[in-house]
Amino acid sequence: MNIAFILDPLEGISIKKDSSFAMMREASGRKHRIHVIQQEDIALKEGRVRVISTEIFLTGKIFPWYEKGEMRHGHLDEFDAVLMRKDPPFDMEYYYATQLLEMAEREGAKIYNRPASLRNWNEKLSISRFPQFTPPTLVSRKESDFREFLDCHQDIVMKPLDGMGGSGVFRIRENDPNIGVIIETVTLYGKRTVMAQRFVPEIEKGDKRILVLGGIPAPYCLARIPKRGETRGNLASGGKGVAQPLSERDLEIAGSIGPVLKEEGIYLAGLDVIGNYLTEINVTSPTCMQEILDQTGCDVPKMMIDLLEAECA
């Protein structure tokens, strides 16, 4: 197979933890050919979506971990599978990229995840499709709404709708002297719509990342446990990742959401679960494959390449 990865510059990838690299390594081990594409190298020319791709070869070393092969101009339907793995933030450039990729899909390209679903499944707002699993949630830009929500729940978390890695996340309690300035900061003085959720104290046991592949959850998740003095478990914020089997509640949540994701063309997603509550559905570039593999032997990258081979057969 020829597999193309649309992702951030290779120089910024940490091969010790990057899930895209883990999938590349698995695919390369099966003699599949690996190509990389930068988001800025996708264009519409003469009525067709064209890309500039570069084939890479894994060296098996820590550095340099790849060697560049031929760079070529072509079309996405020339690849057996295209994985859109560009990291957030979901800005207008990302939005335009999904539109171009949707055009390429109509030309015959097989793109995972489906471009329209990448656009439509906001990683924060999409939990509203499954209210039976979510904590009390508010989405607004009005300070009065957040103050009322805080009065009701006493302890809440506010976060932007387009962030990643825990960036811009604030916890507010009813006696916090900085309530006003936090709301102003997160909402940009009422110009930006953001989300608030009731604080879930089980965060101290970890913000669990459950990977769902082709509608089926991997049997292990990664509980990202906050460092001392933090309420964010994100690894990018200093959290510690501890792999563990899925609980009955995890299986209930993933079992209900997984088939919907698959129907929408989302073949790789990361559900974030704190305690018994679903807090996010990550569809752009879910991570934690390597941590789960290293700690448990559960080979999630293998599961993903198995899935791609089956889809493209």
Catalytic residues: 124, 159, 209, 224, 232, 272, 280, 282
Strands (E), the chain: 2-6, 33-37, 42-45, 48-58, 66-74, 81-84, 111-112, 137-140, 155-160, 170-173, 194-198, 207-213, 216-217, 220-225, 240-245, 268-274, 277-282
Comparing CA positions, the residue from 5, 11, 10, 21 lying closest to residue 300 is 21
* Residues in contact with 278: Cβ distance below 8 Å, sequence separation at least 6, in sequence order: 127, 130, 133, 134, 253, 257, 271, 272
- Helix and strand numbers (H, E) in the chain are 8, 17
**What letter represents residue 96's amino acid?**
Y
**249, 195 in Cβ contact below 8 A?**
no
Question: Helix 300-312 to helix 289-296 angle, to the nearest 10 degrees?
Answer: 120
Comparing CA positions, the residue from 132, 135, 145, 138 lying closest to residue 161 is 138
d(CA 210, CA 246): 8
Structure tokens at 40: 């800025």
